[in-house]
Structure 1
Amino acid sequence: MLTTLFEGWLYIFLRPILLCNPNGNRYAPSLTAEALSDQDINDLIACSPKVDADSVYVTKLACNYPGRVSKIASDTVAKRMSTDPAQQEQLSTELVRTSTNIPVPRCGRLVKCLTSTGVYLLQQFVPGRTLHDAWPSLSWWHRFRVLLTFRYYIYQLRRMTERVGPPSFPGPPSCDGIPKYCKGRLLNSAGCGPFQSYRELARWYQNRLLVMQRFRKQGLGLAPFDSTVPLAFTHMDLHLRNLILGDDRQLWVIDWAEAGWYPSWFEAASMSMYAKSHPDSSRSWRKWIPFVAGSCDNPGQLPFIMTISYSLECMPPDIMNLIDSEQP
């Protein structure tokens, strides 16, 4: 995937057909519901409609996650989450909103859930349709504009270091300079880390390959984990349901809870793995993943992740250290 000055100039030329405003959502006003007390917000949530109540999507494991997002004002939704993911989504979303022109919802404060554990993250409500609902009926020209805009967004994410500086460590952004726990489709199902450096992340992956080779006789002769590419800001959960064609004719990106600094090929690999595990994912969308996010089929990339997938899904994040034991 091109990340050159030429591509940047090309997007300037193509600006009229991109589905985003020059400033994205950078100057969004504060949310009206933020002025309410925690008790008032909890009361509103109890009687408010769930905007994701009909968004039931089924994986191969038959996992459904509807009904977590309540519309509590004309411009505000409350998303129920665990505290750490909510804080990470809040920080990542605001980082992208203020550093790029990618339209992302403005985040408000965290509100304590008074009836059970967890918190509610207040976010800007985005009127529109998810791309999952809209894609089948789009014309070829509208689909092309969506794909080109989406490619432009990933181009911006991969150049965020020019605005905010290079990351000190992989994983979610941190406001206190301390590495955070990492979660995502390409990581351990229970989460992993924190990682103090890119090298530590690469060693974590390489160790899982050694475990698979020794105890399951899989991945013998496989190329090592590819840590030759730079870390880039990565959404880690891009799919049709996390993209909204807004009523304002912009392409919005939501759900940044798993975002962070990871090898640049992680985005395409995560998108590809999602498409393979969700039978309702559009085939006409899947074939365009390399165009919007680049290739992830090189040695040490998606083939590596697929080979060690059993260790990611079924083994704990901390397993025996074979890297140091095998060194002379």
Structure 2
Amino acid sequence: MTAAVFIDGEAGTTGLQIRDRLLKRGDIRLVQVDPARRKDPAARREAFAAADVAILCLPDAAAIEAVALCEGLPTRIIDASTAYRVNPDWAFGFAELSAANRARIAGAARVSNPGCYSTGSIALLAPLVAAGLIAADAALSINAVSGYSGGGKALISEFEEGTAGAHFVYGLEHKHKHIPEIMAHSGLTRRPIFVPSVGNFAQGMVVQVPLHLPKGQTAGEYHAALAAHYEGARFVRVVEGDSLLPRINPERLNGTNVMELSVHAGPEGDRVVLLATLDNLGKGASGAAVQNLNLMLGMEEGAGL
């Protein structure tokens, strides 16, 4: 089977990486718009109509406009923006969240790709909230560092031109766009404190959740709950925390669709740091989109990854 795929916004960072993954495949045919007409709504609707699946790599407002352009068409959509990540009418594109979620993605007409930071956060928190190890109303802090490629063309230019500095922290207005999806898909009822940062490297990411353990809980229980949830998962691995010490390299999974989760215990046994390491352009963006595409088309899940 050959499927037709249109990437709307293929010139951006995420779109280019999706295109590169799909160009290598014989089971995918890319639908493209003449560059001279790429902003012509009629030309874009023609491209949508010619595609089995369209992948939107656009800002939120433009993604909403693109979905409206598809009205009346049978084209299925994967949206990489923030616009639909908490919309209950859209499947949330983190297949490993649950077996039911994986099945929903496979049959969905509309799939919202997760954000990079939220992929790591949800992967750590959702199984632990479901297992009762973390209360839904717990007071949580989430810290993270990402490569600058996640910030789009403007930020990439700053770092490549040497004007951005070595590292910066942001999101201190407590309004980061990933917080609603982290809450919605982790089962949290209390808004976490989320403080991301960007380092002077292109790709890679580490998400950190530090926790004081309630009396009677152990780090081993956290590891066991994560390992049980992701048993058999191809792209999410739960690894022993000690195997990663003494330094965690955010770039170590670059170029893959793999995310690794680990639990790091304090010496007194009363606290842990949960870590998720991933490529922010892999499992955090383009790789996840291709994985979702494969599920929607009934193809081998890891094709092109």
Fold conserved between structures, TM > 0.5? no
Q: Which one has the bigger strand percentage?
A: 2
The structure number with the bigger radius of gyration is: 1
Q: Give me the TM-score of the superposition, normalised by structure 1.
A: 0.25
